[in-house]
Structure 1
């Protein structure tokens, strides 16, 4: 007597559960389509515009993040160094070069979800264009490691992988015409277990 309703209830549970899980996995997998990648840095220039695809809009709504408009800025993330190795807290890195033209830029260390990491009380986990020390030609070096270094230094916790988030504010790179020929800083591993 309860056999048919039980089969129907099981089928509906599997169908709805599978649909919800597949939608959530797609939202967690990508910010959307149309990513650009420059020297290991990845950005989604259309993710915050009115012409964004439905996945990008849903990802933005799910994360509760306020993203920049196409004329306001562009956010780049880097998960790997120049050799393609995942950035991890047990290694030290040097980020060198220059950023694309921008009125202001910020750089911080984040977890895989994009949340800023805390390396400890009063340790620098972020830099910006106003506080970074530069050479006379405008280039800079930032050391990213667990232990303190002289010059520009970002502290990272020693547990697990991380990403670097570089946000360019009021930049021509945010316009579709500014995306070609960008010069991005290079991230290289300078040692592990230090």
Structure 2
């Protein structure tokens, strides 16, 4: 008498449980479809528009973060260096090159959830922008990323071994709506050395 309702209840519990788990995994795995990759940098140009796919809309709703419109800018993130090695705090890196055309760009380090890194040492440069970075005669720039101070352009990260992301936001850029954005170049990220090597 109780066998049939028990089988149905078990099947429904398994189905709902697997459905919820697969939805959570899908939202954590990607911002959506239509990603563009320029070296180690990845962006989702339609993630914040009305043309976004359902996964991108759900991802945006889950995070509760304000995203830029396609005419306002484009956010690139990098979780690895140009040699496809994970970015970690105990290593030193160099970003070298130029950015696509933009009125302004910003760069900061973030944790794996996209939140800016908290550093216990106040006064260190945790973010840079196009107006404050020193450039060469050919308009290229070189930025060192390390927990200890370095000369020139320096972006501080905490001392530790945690992985992190680099987030570069191009503001007021024509590349956000350009269909030829894949032909553009982002600066390369090179690992210099690591504290435990």
Calculate the TM-score normalised by the size of structure 1.
Answer: 0.94
1:63 matches 2:58: no
1:16 matches 2:13: no
Q: Secondary structure at the match of 2:25?
A: helix
Alignment match, 2:138:
137
Alignment match, 1:192:
194
Alignment match, 2:163:
161
Aligned residues: 194
Give, in whole Å, the separation in 1 of the partners of 2:110 and 2:155.
12
Which 5+ residue runs of structure 2 have no aligned equivalent?
none
Which 5+ residue runs of structure 1 have no aligned equivalent?
none
Alignment match, 1:106:
106
Alignment match, 2:30:
30
Alignment match, 2:128:
127
Asked if structure 1 preserves the Cα contact closer than 8 Å seen for 2:97 and 2:186, the reply is yes
Q: CA 1:177/1:7 → structure 2, altered by over 3 Å: closer, same or farther?
A: closer
RMSD after superposition? 1.4
Asked if structure 1 preserves the Cα contact closer than 8 Å seen for 2:37 and 2:182, the reply is no
Alignment match, 1:174:
176
Per-residue displacement from partner, 1:129-149 (whole Å, max 9, x unpaired)?
121122232211110011111
Alignment match, 1:91:
91
Give, in whole Å, the separation in 2 of the partners of 1:7 and 1:53.
36
Asked if structure 2 preserves the Cα contact closer than 8 Å seen for 1:172 and 1:178, the reply is no
Asked if structure 2 preserves the Cα contact closer than 8 Å seen for 1:104 and 1:168, the reply is yes
Alignment match, 1:4:
4
Alignment match, 1:73:
73
Asked if structure 2 preserves the Cα contact closer than 8 Å seen for 1:109 and 1:125, the reply is yes
Calculate the TM-score normalised by the size of structure 2.
Answer: 0.93
**By how many angstroms is 1:36 displaced?**
0.6
